[in-house]
Amino acid sequence: MFLMQWKRALDGLLDDQEGEMLALLERLVAIDSPTQHAAGVNRVGETLTGWLAGEGFAVSRLPKPPIPEDEPWQADLADVFMACTHEPSAGPGIGFIGHMDTVFPVGTAASRPFRLDRAADRVTGPGVADMKAGLVANLFAARALKRSGLLDCPMTLMFSPDEELGSPTASKALAAQLPGARAVICSEPGGVGNVVTVSRKGSGHMHLKVQGKAAHAGRCYADGASAILELAHKTLAINDLLDLSRGLTVNTGLIAGGTSANSVAPWAESRIHLTYRTLEDGKRVVKGIRDIVAQSTVSGTSAAISGGLRLYPLERTPQGDRLFELVQEAGRTLGMDIAGQHYESAAESGFCSSELGIPTICCMGPEGDNIHSVDEFMIPSTLVPRCKLIALTALLAAREFAPAPRR
């Protein structure tokens, strides 16, 4: 009975909001926000928190966390933004998370702008599905819950600036702000056909640097020590850690080095990306990479590696499965037959589950596909239904779960 009462209340608050949702989405898509364009990502955060402040939420822009000495580039990333309904002493309640950054370079918003095709039920534009539509859905769901007065616990909305690089700073903010949450809803793009994500891989990013010694490659080759040759040995050894049968990928995707073709290379570096289905596998492969880096094949070279695990995997847990059952219950109330999927890429939902021990569900946002490509799209007819799904799930989760124990 109470579910139908909640649904009727949400219908009254959300049924006529699609136009406002699309207008806000268009504003967000018009802002170029690749991860390393801090000004653009911060503009997204200012737009989101400005909207929420107008609805009576307490908003903040969090200070930068301590930056690792071996990864100084993190200092140039944008900020984490947050909005709450209560004082911190009340706890985070239900967490709504999403990221503001995209993978598309500056200029894409002008060259390939927001476009709504009603006949095809498609919206296109950079980051429209991943995940600016999800940010909009979180805002409108939270506003509806606040206006209705139905939710009897706090709400905390977190907006991260660096998910596409593994959330090196956002994960620290999540760890600081969300412990004790009853549940976390991540509004990454929903799968087409009423699909949400119940498990997904984790990911890691590592930066390998090799120092060698320069020498003329023809006249005095033996006086040098090739950093490129040493990097090649390490790259092949690291590749041996690949185990596709376990869903474990280790990919050296970028390599640079040397000064000229006729010089023994004094430096070389690579960027390594890894994905894994279990936290245990992720920790094992990072240790394996560090052990390889510690050993030298080419005399006279040295190496250092930074980075490690970034986005933890969203693994199946009894609490997570129970939250998925609540999503399905909310879906049935809305006439939606919700299916769960495993997703072979990472998101911040895994950190909230694996590291913080909070019941977490992912891909609750409006449906879309072809993310990270020029063909990325979002289905506008799913905006309002997914917003209601988020809100109803939050209401059910607030009743079902006590505040999570702090780890």
> Which residues belong to the active site?
101, 163
Closest among 95, 77, 98 to 28, alpha carbons compared: 98
Asked if 186 contacts 352 with a C-beta cutoff of 8 angstroms, the reply is yes
Helices (H) and strands (E) in the chain, counts: 11, 17
Tokens coding 69: 């000495």
Rounded CA separation 93/122 (Å): 34
Residue 235 Cα distances to 103, 309, 357, angstroms = 26, 18, 35
Q: Would you give the end-to-end CA distance of the chain in angstroms?
A: 36
Asked if 84 contacts 156 with a C-beta cutoff of 8 angstroms, the reply is yes
Tokens coding 287: 């240790």
What angle is formed at CA 307 by the lines to CA 128 and CA 302, rounded to 5 degrees?
A: 140
Helix (H, G, I), strand (E, B) or coil at 71: coil
* Dihedral Cα 389, 395, 397, 402, nearest 10 deg: 160
Residue 183 Cα distances to 4, 66, 123, 150, 383, angstroms = 22, 27, 30, 16, 22
Helix (H, G, I), strand (E, B) or coil at 70: coil
Asked if 134 contacts 366 with a C-beta cutoff of 8 angstroms, the reply is yes
What is the secondary structure of 256-304 as a DSSP string?
Answer: EE-S-TTB--SEEEEEEEEEESSHHHHHHHHHHHHHHHHS-SSTT-EEE
Residue 260: exposed, middle, or buried by beta-carbon count in 10 A (0-12, 13-18, 19+)?
A: exposed
